[in-house]
Structure 1
């Protein structure tokens, strides 16, 4: 091989292991030393390890995170609580995959303004300033929250998701992290047996419950731990954040 030749880049389907992970509290969780060690391991094994972020965060946040905060760049992102499915280029830009988002866009049907109008005046909800394409999200005050918001959203033919007892997301019907991740893995031809799904709050439940090897990291929301307690494929890690992910990789024997 000459100095100008390079080995072909493996597609994510050909890699030995794929980590599909939530960000806040999970891939961004743990001590600074634990994060640095785990991120260095990811970067050192990229030929064998694929990385997918499955997050409630928006594309702009993910790009800022990986460009300026020394967090490994993912191969793909399932963002906005499952309403964005995108690939990531060398410049850290996220490009939505139209064939995977078509059903999401149809299910949403430009509902943003209708949702905001219907929930205006409902106690305990404060609209988040970030503009999302296929969702509406609120910060939630659990002491003031009015449960009628759930009925209002259902009446609009949409889904409501409460997570960490402080976030209220309105999503297209039957769209969340789990179904969107599964749609992406199928599209990419990834063998689900070599995927580890990692999360820490109730908005991760739909992906942890899919039947793939999974971990609820040690600092998980108690409500999530309660819901996954009887699922044998979900490892309840003792350690928090990235240390819990590493613990689960060993527990599930996912990478030699």
Structure 2
């Protein structure tokens, strides 16, 4: 295993300070393992996370639920990869206008967004009509935690961004361990990589990957779950 691709909230940032510090120490002893963040946060929020001394330094960051790819040093976008993921994106203004007829959608005005349009939405309001409206825009979507709806460029997802980065770096799927805890991580488990779903994960994610022998369901939450998966892989 050469690369750890990990979600942040509930995954890398989850668990006790002791567990998080232990994971950081293990990764520091193995600099041959490249760390990649794959998060729903934007780059501005990732910069805040990187101030935490318990957070390992990433070599790359996948942000905005897969619409952004940046280098870990300086968080400068990787222009060619990002352009491919965002191809056909109509822009947030057009998305918001087209979806304004759905009053149950509440725009996440408190979240800095780039290459995506994010809303709060209750599960019962994720209707076929809304899905069709998103498709008519030429967009895809991700829904997680029974309240977060991200409207994305058609080619963008965490999994698609990981695949694009892997091709650029020459990584095989077997080189990767992907770690997550919510449904917006699901696309990462479909790329042929090793996987871990950490403890206290969203039940819908656990159900979705239950039949995949490559995915380990960790009994411990957050950083401790990642550590358990690293031990399993040797």
TM-score (norm 2): 0.93
CA contact (8 A) 1:123 1:146 kept: no
Q: Which residue of 1 aligns with 2:106?
A: 126
After superposition, give the CA deviation of every residue in 1:91-150 in whole Å (9 maximum; x if it has no partner): xx2111111112223221x4211110112142332111234231100122336x252322
Q: Which runs of 5+ in 2 are unaligned?
A: none
Q: CA deviation at 1:237?
A: 1.1
1:236-251 matches, cutoff 5 A: 236-251=217-232
Q: Which residue of 1 aligns with 2:93?
A: 113
Task: Name the count of aligned residue pairs.
Answer: 232
Deviates further, 158-167 or 68-77: 68-77
Q: What is the CA–CA distance in structure 1 between the aligned matches of 2:133 and 2:189, rounded to whole Å? A: 27
Q: Which residue of 1 aligns with 2:41?
A: 57
Deviates further, 73-82 or 154-163: 154-163
Q: What is the CA–CA distance in structure 2 between the aligned matches of 1:124 and 1:236, rounded to whole Å? A: 34
TM-score (norm 1): 0.85
CA contact (8 A) 1:199 1:208 kept: no
After superposition, give the CA deviation of every residue in 1:10-42 in whole Å (9 maximum; x if it has no partner): xxxxxx621100011111111222112112222
Q: What is the CA–CA distance in structure 2 between the aligned matches of 1:120 and 1:188, rounded to whole Å? A: 40
Q: CA deviation at 1:234?
A: 0.7
The runs of 4+ residues in structure 1 deviating greater than 3 Å are none
After superposition, give the CA deviation of every residue in 1:194-230 in whole Å (9 maximum; x if it has no partner): 2210011111110012111111111111101111011
Root-mean-square deviation over aligned CA pairs: 1.7
Q: Which runs of 5+ in 1 are unaligned?
A: 1-15
